[in-house]
């Protein structure tokens, strides 16, 4: 990539964009208020196309929906690039000035003809060509994506393929054009910003940069491990090899949320020590040796979170937490004291000021400034800096602001690791629905009139072939396990595709099915593509 770490654009920009390409995102359900901004853009005269294996609620707002095969994103992106180049719609001045690797890229995408892409994606060549032209000729254009791009074994390559399109057309680094990954939780962005990545220190400073490391060692008064740590998936691999035997989990529920969850639970059980800090007694917490009850971050604690437009915002305590629970920072501080490190009992603001002293991109964001107004978008390097509405403006500067030109990436279409076979002939993909959230621990607490449960949605064509009727209970199996589910038949779902949500592990242990093939660069598992089989229940008819 070209040095990102965050979405390039502000929400406001999508309201003014000429063209929006929604790719692998059902923002209507998963990011409803962001989608309001998209809808404002459409109302203002903008156009939207949607690329998604399913015609989601979001895709229904699109002028054109392209229902690609699961995992064929790179084939599509490369073919779009090839078509843009072939039709001479690429921005040659921008490419020459701001990028490197164009020649190799042209050569690399040469085999990705429209016909090739049509056969790989299942979408006809004419529609792909139309999309290429619409994107390239738009005055401003944004590509928005979510887990439909990243939850693949090659999620990072998927992202890079989308970045190529922006570099090819100059749709990045200026108002209205950009690349916007939407974050799934209120502080995914903030977690990364704070260095909760295996190879980063806070503020995206590299752990193997000795100058940066020394700065942190001086500030913290302790030597720091200079080696990159493990990402989540590698941790589980290390647990399997018994190289990692103790685990401290804060606010995650991997015993429900991980792909191939049976395997995960075995690993957690086999640990020498499992500590879970959470607001609930989750399934993961039930496996723990020690549970540290925490207060609710957004309603019972003070602090900050960072949104998908890199906006650092204040969270505040509105309620007294239940007795016996403590704030996360307090628990960690007390643990440190027990470990013999004399950390002071401290406030969130004090911690934030420490961060500001170490992370240049946060330096200008005092609590006072965050309290006034709506927070600030990083980078915000000094206290007079207004924050940054969009990233990579340097691409358009005379001297590139001292940066290296942005590189094109060469990516290859592979498709999902787990191929559909005669034994497992259907493709299972997963996603969120509007009124529920992740493993459901937070959304089970209110009674939603629109809660739809956890049905397996399949095409009417597959239903016919398998002689299934609406509401029938079936056995759903992947190479890793089986669960019992209820079938919901959809007239507009592609043949061969099955969809369900993961919000109700207490009802259906869905991640028994999902595939833990993971991306070597990000560690994200391929939740979006498992191969499954549907069998009628033996000796039992309808539910």
Q: What phi and psi values does residue 354 have, to the nearest 5 degrees? A: -60, -45
Compute the least distance from the CB of residue 501 to another protein, in Å: 14
Query: Among 476, 499, 475, 496, which residue's Cα sits nearest to residue 488?
Result: 499
Q: Are 102 and 169 in contact (CB under 8 A)?
A: no
Q: What angle do CA 383, 388, 389 make, to 5 degrees?
A: 145
118 vs 168 by CB, closer to another protein? 118
Q: Are 427 and 420 in contact (CB under 8 A)?
A: yes
Compute the least distance from the CB of residue 254 to another protein, in Å: 19
48 vs 212 by CB, closer to another protein? 48
375 vs 416 by CB, closer to another protein? 375
DSSP-assigned beta bridge partners for residue 488: 457
Structure tokens at 310: 């890199």
Could you tell me whether strands 311-315 and 376-377 are parallel, antiparallel, or unpaired per DSSP bridges?
A: antiparallel
Could you tell me whether strands 141-145 and 178-181 are parallel, antiparallel, or unpaired per DSSP bridges?
A: parallel
170 vs 181 by CB, closer to another protein? 181
104 vs 319 by CB, closer to another protein? 319
405 vs 453 by CB, closer to another protein? 453
How many angstroms separate the CA atoms of 226 and 201, rounded? Answer: 10
Compute the least distance from the CB of residue 122 to another protein, in Å: 5
323 vs 384 by CB, closer to another protein? 323
Helices and strands counted in the chain (H then E): 21, 21
Could you tell me whether strands 530-536 and 426-431 are parallel, antiparallel, or unpaired per DSSP bridges?
A: antiparallel
User: Which residue is associated with the tokens 């020459």?
Assistant: 96
Query: Among 219, 208, 215, which residue's Cα sits nearest to residue 351?
Result: 219
DSSP label at residue 18:
S
How many angstroms separate the CA atoms of 456 and 502, rounded? Answer: 11
Compute the least distance from the CB of residue 87 to another protein, in Å: 20
Q: Are 46 and 18 in contact (CB under 8 A)?
A: yes
How many angstroms separate the CA atoms of 259 and 98, rounded? Answer: 40
Compute the least distance from the CB of residue 57 to another protein, in Å: 4
Compute the least distance from the CB of residue 432 to another protein, in Å: 9
25 vs 98 by CB, closer to another protein? 25
Residue 87 makes CB contacts below 8 A (sequence gap 6+) with 132, 133, 136
Query: Among 309, 304, 266, 269, which residue's Cα sits nearest to residue 289?
Result: 269
Structure tokens at 382: 């000094």
User: Which residue is associated with the tokens 């595709």?
Assistant: 497
230 vs 335 by CB, closer to another protein? 335
Structure tokens at 240: 């399997």
133 vs 444 by CB, closer to another protein? 444
């Amino acid at each position: 990539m070209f040095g990102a770490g965050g979405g390039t654009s502000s929400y406001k920009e999508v309201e003014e964009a000429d063209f929006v390409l929604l790719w692998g995102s059902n923002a209507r359900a998963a990011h409803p208020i962001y989608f309001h901004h998209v809808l404002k853009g459409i109302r203002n005269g903008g156009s939207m196309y949607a690329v998604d294996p399913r015609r989601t609620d979001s895709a229904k707002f699109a002028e054109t929906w392209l229902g690609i095969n699961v995992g064929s994103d790179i084939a599509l992106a490369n073919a779009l690039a090839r078509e843009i180049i072939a039709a001479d719609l690429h921005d040659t001045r921008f490419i020459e000035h701001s990028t490197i690797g164009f020649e190799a890229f042209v050569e690399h995408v040469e085999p990705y003809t429209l016909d090739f892409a049509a056969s790989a994606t299942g979408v006809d060549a004419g529609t792909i060509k139309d999309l290429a032209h619409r994107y390239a000729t738009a005055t401003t254009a944004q590509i928005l994506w979510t887990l439909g791009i990243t939850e693949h074994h090659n999620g990072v390559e998927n992202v890079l393929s989308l970045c190529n399109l922006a570099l090819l057309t100059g749709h990045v680094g200026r108002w209205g054009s950009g690349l916007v990954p939407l974050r799934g939780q209120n502080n995914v962005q903030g977690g990364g910003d704070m260095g909760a990545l295996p190879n980063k220190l806070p503020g995206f400073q590299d752990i193997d940069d000795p100058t940066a490391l020394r700065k942190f060692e001086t500030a913290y008064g302790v030597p720091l491990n200079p080696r990159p740590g493990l990402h989540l998936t590698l941790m589980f691999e290390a647990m399997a090899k018994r190289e990692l035997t103790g685990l401290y989990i804060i606010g995650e529920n991997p015993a429900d949320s991980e792909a191939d969850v049976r395997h995960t639970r075995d690993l957690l059980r086999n640990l020498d020590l499992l500590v879970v800090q959470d607001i609930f007694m989750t399934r993961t917490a039930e496996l723990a040796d020690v549970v540290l009850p925490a207060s609710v971050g957004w309603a019972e604690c003070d602090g900050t979170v960072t949104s998908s437009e890199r906006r650092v915002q204040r969270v505040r305590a509105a309620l007294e937490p239940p007795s016996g629970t403590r704030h996360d920072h307090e628990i960690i501080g007390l643990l440190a004291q027990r470990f013999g490190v004399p950390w002071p009992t401290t406030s969130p603001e004090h911690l934030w000021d420490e961060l500001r002293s170490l992370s240049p991109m946060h330096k200008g964001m005092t609590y006072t400034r965050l309290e006034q107004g709506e927070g600030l978008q990083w980078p915000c390097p000094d206290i007079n800096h207004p924050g940054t509405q969009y990233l990579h403006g340097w691409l358009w500067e005379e001297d590139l602001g001292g940066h290296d030109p942005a590189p094109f990436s060469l990516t290859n279409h592979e498709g999902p690791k787990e191929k559909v076979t005669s034994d497992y002939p259907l493709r299972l993909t997963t996603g969120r629905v509007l009124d529920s959230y992740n493993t459901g621990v937070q959304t089970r607490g209110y009674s939603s009139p629109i809660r739809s449960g956890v049905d397996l949605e399949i095409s009417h064509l597959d239903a016919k072939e398998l002689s299934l009727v609406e509401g029938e209970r079936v056995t759903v199996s992947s190479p890793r396990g089986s669960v019992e589910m209820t079938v919901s038949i959809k007239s507009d779902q592609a043949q061969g595709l099955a969809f369900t949500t993961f919000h109700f592990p207490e009802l259906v242990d869905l991640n028994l099915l999902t595939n833990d093939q993971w991306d070597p660069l990000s560690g994200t598992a391929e939740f979006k593509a498992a191969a499954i089989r549907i069998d009628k229940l033996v000796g039992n008819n309808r539910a």
